[in-house]
Each structure stands twice: as structure tokens, then as C-alpha cells.
Chains A and B, each alone.
Chain A
């Protein structure tokens, strides 16, 4: 789960990293009051979990409380790359002398963590990394050792950062470890004209697998922008809404992704990603079907199940039972293969529902579903 900037700021502050004074609100009127408390001038920042806020007009400087209210009114509700700004953070402006970049991130290649640091912080850091890699230091961190002052000094020296950043580097590592984060990024870490070091903006990605031991974030869920996604999530289904017309149900993330690709290869567009997982009980199948059938964009449904651990006759039973609770209104193409496939196909054939047809291969099933969707 990604945190909002203001949540990341809060974490940094708790771990002793200095951040600008700031407050969050969803009300333009309150924004005016906050600006007053901050001394008049304020930077108004859209709180969305995506990059490129500045370029999209989601970050603006307000000269006084009245301007802060107006600016907050403009930014609240703004759409930035599909994310709606539900709140704004107002922060006290700082006099920037230098902008640095520091982060710790999981390095899949080594199965460890990397410290990344540069004296050229700011919005263009990815471009700096691509065009002048020597300007960005990448130092592996031994997770068993962690980031001690000595290690932090090594990172700072490698990046050419001033020695005063050592303390921030040590504390940022503590955020990573204590919060079970996969990424902690401060960009920019600024030095003010007064010589203070502040984390001006940050990004934190927490590990969803660690919810069971992270009391504070454990209960918090990522928001679902799509109402169907919210319904599916409430039923424990892994569902992602897409723009197409072929509803898709399958077992296993890899096979479902592959099914989307094969449907797209047949010239149709998948309406969703839905993985019913290994168990595939009748209830899960019914829940999945009802979510997909309630999507008005869906004109045909493809069920693609490979019986590995799951037996296909159990899946077929699930579909038949689902028909008792869900009224099938759109054509359904079912492909069952693998364990007990013959028995599963026989069960569906016996049910003889006029809207259900069977295919024996994935490619054939996708082709039929695509043609039915277009019909």
C-alpha cells in the first residue's frame, strides 16, 4: 500500500526527520485558517497517490490565506492521472538552497535493499538517473547490518551529500524497517538558506503482507475508485475493472493475465481481471459471476479454469450452483481443462443452460467469447 504524502510526512516526523509545518484538510474554508496558522503563505498540495502532481497543477503557492482558500477550492476534486484529490496538504514554504534525493528501496535483483542518493533531487531525478547515472549513487545495504552512522556516512560520501545528511539516512532506514516498508523516498530533501535540512516531500510504500503485525496500518485498505472493485474486495475477490466487454474469471494470477492477453489477441477487450484462486468453491464462483454480470459493459463472459489442485468437476458444480443464485443474462463460455475435466464438462453438459457453451482449449474459448461479445 502506498501512503499519501501527509502520512509519509507524519512517519518521517515520528522518526525524528525534520519536516515543514503542515496540515491536511478537505475544506477550502479550513485551508484559509491553516494558512493563517502557518503565517499566511502556504504551499497547497493535492494529496493523491501518484507522481506528476506539480505538472498537473496539483501543487501551488498561495500568497495569503484568501489565496489559499481559492487554491484549495481549485485543487480539491481535481483529477490527476485518474486519482481524485480528496484532500490538500498546506505546508509552510521554505527557502531552498539545495535539493537532494535519498531513498531505500527493495532490490529484487539481489533480494536486499539499495540506498539511492543524489545531490540533484527534485522532480527530474529519473531523468538524471537515466542520462547521467554517475550523478546517482546506488549502495547496497546488508539487511542484517542495517544503516549505522558509518554506513550512512558511506552513502552520503558516495553521493556527495553533506555530512549533515547522515542523521537523516540513519532515521530513514529506521522508518523502512520499523514500518515494514518496501520503499521510503525523500525527494527533495532540502537544505534551507538557514542551513536546516528538511524532508519536503516523500513517498512510502508499505508491505501489505506485514499488515498482521503493523497495528496502525493493518486495518487500512487501499481505496477502490471503482464501485465494482469495492464490492469484489468486500467479498474477498481479486478483481480489477478494465475498459472492455469480455468478462473474465480464472484461477491463478498468471493464468488470468494470460487469458486477458489471449482475449485481446482475438480482437476483443477484457472487461476485468478476476482471480478466484485455488479453492474455487461454489460460493466464490457465484460471487465472481455476480460481480461480472453486474458490470453493464460486459456482453459475454469467459470462465477459464485449469484444474491443477482444483478438480474441474468441483468447478463445474460451482458454476451450476451459482446459476441458482445468479441469473445468467449474458452468454458464458467455459473452458475446463486438467484434473477431472471430462467429468466437469459432463456436469455442465447435463445442466444444458442455453447461454452456456463449452470450449476445450483456451484459444478456442477466447475466440468464442470474443465473437459472442461482438455479436
Chain B
């Protein structure tokens, strides 16, 4: 059944008629995504021809939902207009909004993620590669052809590290891979994905990829300790990265964490997560863990 996205998902694309929107709509269609429409008020009523289907353009998300039963939207709208686009989607009652746009002001992200919560809309992103349930549907810009369906669930802040792990573990395959985005405020957290993977019968093992900054990995570690019974393998990037900007005294007061890769690794290991030193070692730990479990099941 995967998480958040399946072959049943009907997907709208806000900003489909722009350059990035067109390119990635084509790729999503090729990956099997059921794209049911684009949204652009200035091009409403037209349709756009892709290889094997003409995709209608709607004036609003609401019209798109009413005409097609869409339950997912992928947002490629430029930063200055992204807040309005996401608020519109949430008000129209969309279930999932995947916000690819990079460079959205944080005050806008705070506003639309907060509003979406009150409307029951899940936001993934912003500034994220989206999510893919291999073999079923792809919502965003993750390359679909570097891996295959399987039983690993993956959650990550980083796009290219997600691709790296998807590729290294391509022979084992994935239930769903979620790129939650690296912005300070995102709609879906590591913890949300951990909870969803824990409940997903298609997911046998979870890969969690983190990087320096904030304390999301530390909070994820606490959640794993308390709630996750499936094996989790982790990777953290940024051990040698230069010390980043500090947020005055307030940042340290809020999180109580240094945000370093070391602190994150230690928190994850203390929660029983095996943490790889490199992406390749992380992939090896995944295979080892699955093998041991396989033996246990067979024995």
C-alpha cells in the first residue's frame, strides 16, 4: 500500500505550463503517475499534449478537483506566488500538496503549513524533490528509473543523497521514498514519515537520512525509541562541514542541541539505529539487516 502516494492517486500540477512544470509533468507521466490536470488561471480551458495523453488545464484547484477527483497536487509555482497557490489548494480540500518550489520565504511557509494543518491537508516540502512510490506513482522531481519497487521506506532532507541511496539499493527496492526538503519549516517531518512507514505493511525497513542543522534528527531518534519497532538504518551528512550560522542565543535555547552531525549520529545510535559512515556503508547495513531478518523469518 506504500505511504501517501499510490497508483490510485490522482495528481494535479500547479504551474504545469511553466518550463520546470512541463519537463517534470512529462517525467511524472512516464513514471506512471496519473496526472489528471494542470492549474493556471490564465490558461484555463486549454489542454496540453504529452506523449500519450492530453492534460486539461483548470483555472483553479477547486475546479480541477471537481472535474477529476484529484487528491494530490504538485506545486512548481515561483516563490512569490507559492503561498497563494498552496493556500488555494488547501482551501479546495486537496489531501496532499507536494511543494517543489525552492526559495519560498519562511514566513510564507509558516503561514501555509499552519493553514494546511487546520484544513487536513498534508504538505510535503517546500524546497523538496517530492516523493515516489516506485512502480506506482511519482509526485515531484525524483528520477523514477534509478530504482524499483521493494520493501524499504526512505525519508530524507536531501535530494541527491536520496537518489544515491535509491540507486545503491536498487536491487532491493523501495515502498516509498519521501524527500521532505531541507528548509527550516517543512510540512512533513521525519517523524511523520516514520509513523507512516511503521504502519505500512509494505515497508519492512526504514532508511532515515539527515544532515547538519536544526534538531529534527534528534527528535526523530526520540520518536524511534518510543514508537518504531521496524529496523531503522540512518545516515547523517555534514561531519566536516564548516560551522554554520548560529541563530543568536535563541536557537540554542530552543533546541538545546548543537545541530552537529555527531550529535545527530549519537542520538540515533542511542535509539538503536545503525548509522552508516558513508552512503555505501549505509546501503550495506540495510542489506545486512534485511538478511538477518530474512534468516530469522526462515528459521
- Distance in Å: Cβ of A88 to nearest Cβ of chain B: 21
Question: Within the complex, which residue of A182, A212, A250 is in contact with B184, where a contact is CB–CB below 8 Å?
Answer: A182
- Distance in Å: Cβ of B30 to nearest Cβ of chain A: 13
- Distance in Å: Cβ of A127 to nearest Cβ of chain B: 10
Chain B residues 234 to 264 lying within 8 A of chain A, measured CB to CB, are 235, 237-242, 245-256, 261
B interface footprint on A331-347 (CB within 8 Å = 1, 0 otherwise): 00000011100000000
Chain B CB within 8 A of A273 CB:
yes
- Distance in Å: Cβ of B31 to nearest Cβ of chain A: 13
Chain B CB within 8 A of A363 CB:
yes
- Distance in Å: Cβ of B108 to nearest Cβ of chain A: 8
Interface size of A by Cβ–Cβ distance < 8 Å?
65
Chain B CB within 8 A of A56 CB:
no
- B105 close to A136 (CB less than 8 A): no
- Distance in Å: Cβ of A325 to nearest Cβ of chain B: 26
Chain A residues 177 to 191 lying within 8 A of chain B, measured CB to CB, are 177, 180, 182-183, 185, 187
- B249 close to A180 (CB less than 8 A): no
- Distance in Å: Cβ of B145 to nearest Cβ of chain A: 7
- A2 close to B158 (CB less than 8 A): no
Given contacts A126-B252, A209-B105, A209-B106, contact A108 B214 (CB under 8 A): yes
A interface footprint on B226-238 (CB within 8 Å = 1, 0 otherwise): 0000000001011
* Bound Cα distance A125, B254 (Å): 12
Which residues on B sit within 8 Å (CB–CB) of A185? 248-250
Which residues on A sit within 8 Å (CB–CB) of B141? 309
B interface footprint on A81-110 (CB within 8 Å = 1, 0 otherwise): 000000000000000000001010111110
Q: Closest A-chain residue to B261, C-beta based?
A: A261
- B215 close to A260 (CB less than 8 A): no
Given contacts A212-B79, A306-B167, contact A254 B106 (CB under 8 A): no
Which residues on A sit within 8 Å (CB–CB) of B79? 209, 212
Chain B CB within 8 A of A219 CB:
no
* Bound Cα distance A107, B216 (Å): 11
Chain A CB within 8 A of B29 CB:
no
Which residues on A sit within 8 Å (CB–CB) of B211? 253-254, 257
- B280 close to A338 (CB less than 8 A): no
Chain B CB within 8 A of A7 CB:
no
Given contacts A109-B255, A254-B211, A257-B211, contact A143 B143 (CB under 8 A): no
- A177 close to B107 (CB less than 8 A): yes
The segment from A25-33, A111-119, A192-200 found at the interface with B is A111-119
Chain B CB within 8 A of A36 CB:
no
- Distance in Å: Cβ of B84 to nearest Cβ of chain A: 13
Interface centre among A2, A106, A116, A265 (most CB of B within 10 A): A106
Chain A CB within 8 A of B279 CB:
yes
* Bound Cα distance A262, B261 (Å): 13
Which residues on B sit within 8 Å (CB–CB) of A209? 79, 103-106
- B248 close to A363 (CB less than 8 A): no
Chain A CB within 8 A of B186 CB:
yes
A interface footprint on B108-130 (CB within 8 Å = 1, 0 otherwise): 01110111000000000000000
A interface footprint on B85-109 (CB within 8 Å = 1, 0 otherwise): 0000000000000000001111101
Chain B CB within 8 A of A375 CB:
no
* Bound Cα distance A114, B247 (Å): 13
Chain B CB within 8 A of A53 CB:
no
* Bound Cα distance A212, B161 (Å): 29
- A308 close to B160 (CB less than 8 A): yes
Chain A CB within 8 A of B146 CB:
yes
Which residues on B sit within 8 Å (CB–CB) of A111? 109-110, 113-114, 185-187
- A107 close to B253 (CB less than 8 A): no
Chain A CB within 8 A of B157 CB:
yes
* Bound Cα distance A260, B278 (Å): 10
Which residues on A sit within 8 Å (CB–CB) of B279? 258, 362
Chain A residues 347 to 373 lying within 8 A of chain B, measured CB to CB, are 361-363
Question: Within the complex, which residue of A2, A255, A257 is in contact with B241, where a contact is CB–CB below 8 Å?
Answer: A257
- B114 close to A144 (CB less than 8 A): yes
Which residues on B sit within 8 Å (CB–CB) of A126? 249, 252-253
* Bound Cα distance A28, B256 (Å): 41
- A182 close to B255 (CB less than 8 A): no
Q: Closest A-chain residue to B252, C-beta based?
A: A126
- B107 close to A180 (CB less than 8 A): yes
A interface footprint on B155-174 (CB within 8 Å = 1, 0 otherwise): 01111111110010000000
Chain B CB within 8 A of A210 CB:
yes
Chain A CB within 8 A of B209 CB:
yes
Question: Within the complex, which residue of A112, A213, A338 is in contact with B105, where a contact is CB–CB below 8 Å?
Answer: A213
Given contacts A212-B80, A242-B242, A262-B278, contact A106 B184 (CB under 8 A): yes
A-B contact pairs, 15 of them (CB 8 A): A103-B249, A105-B248, A112-B110, A125-B249, A144-B114, A183-B248, A207-B105, A258-B161, A260-B238, A260-B239, A270-B240, A306-B160, A338-B143, A338-B163, A362-B278
Taking beta carbons and an 8 Å cutoff, which residues of B are in contact with A? 79-80, 103-107, 109-111, 113-115, 141-143, 145-146, 156-164, 167, 182, 184-187, 209, 211-212, 214-216, 219, 235, 237-242, 245-256, 261, 277-280
The 3 closest A-B pairs by CB, nearest first: A254-B158, A252-B160, A105-B250
